[in-house]
Amino acid sequence: MTPAMSRPFLKMNGLGNDFVVVEARSQPFAPSAAEVRAIADRERGIGCDQLIVLEPATTEADIRVRFWNADGEEITACGNGSRCVAWLVMEATGRDAAVLEVGDRLLRTQRAGEGLVSVDMGEPGLDWTDIPLDEPMDTRGIELQVGPIDAPLLHTPGCVSMGNPHVVFFVEDADIAPVREVGPMIEHHRLFPQGVNVGFAQIKARDRIRLRVWERGAGLTKACGTGACAALVASVRRGLTDRTARLELDGGDLTIEWRASDNHVIMTGAASLDYSGTLP
């Protein structure tokens, strides 16, 4: 990594899902896993759920975006982080739209009101190989349960890929769901060779879902954008909700639409700039 001294960063959040954002278009920034963990450490570093690095685009996009989880692993999708970067680009250019290059995908974004950004997250991956799973299963409801065989606490979750893997359990009450107890166990379950984000979704109405997410590599966060997208898709596939719903997360609400016209998932929510600083 190039010397971190005097390198500026922005601290941002999307519904409390917080990020350290580093500009690397003029000076490369390639942190090691240990350096990511040091930056993300909430006691000795800056503290964040994910590190975001902005690089020159290699396509027609405005900017290339890379994400690392707090555990130091680079990931290929982050919905709330994408919204924050899109807001930065639109503020810098004065335009009401921006295109982000994330991995091998282009995410098209636009303003959706004061402090609000919509991101076209593309089509969800629904085949077992898309997640991926360790063996073939119907991803509407996979063969997985937590608790006694004859009286499982949780069972038959849905699986969706939003560029990263998600499993969604449907629960009676998300506020008392065993997120901290079950999340880490399922995150590393053998069925998910790349690990998995674990959602706990409570259907409150055809257009309202309460959601909490144990994020792969980050733990319980206040919000997970791709998790909200996955929960809506999993709910629609089970006939539990309509194709547009408000997702209630610990940090605030997201509006998610799974568009019938092109099968794309549209995520709309807030993006906030907290403060700027210099990497220690």
Structure tokens at 127: 């085949």
Query: From the candidates 78, 84, 159, 229, which is the catalytic residue?
Result: 78
Catalytic entry in 84, 159, 224, 229: 224
Q: List all residues 6 or more positions away from 230 whose beta carbon is below 8 Å from its beta carbon.
A: 124, 160, 161, 162, 166, 168, 197, 199
- CB of 80 closer than 8 Å to CB of 117: no
Q: Which of 43, 2, 37, 1 is nearest to 20 (CA)?
A: 37
Is 224 labeled as catalytic in the residue annotation? yes
List 166's β-bridge partners, or say none: 160, 197
Could you give the angle at the alpha carbon of 154 between the alpha carbons of 153 and 160, nearest 5°?
Answer: 170
Task: Return the sign of the alpha-carbon dihedral for residues 166, 172, 174, 176.
Answer: negative
CA distance 182 to 160: 19
Catalytic (active-site) positions: 78, 224
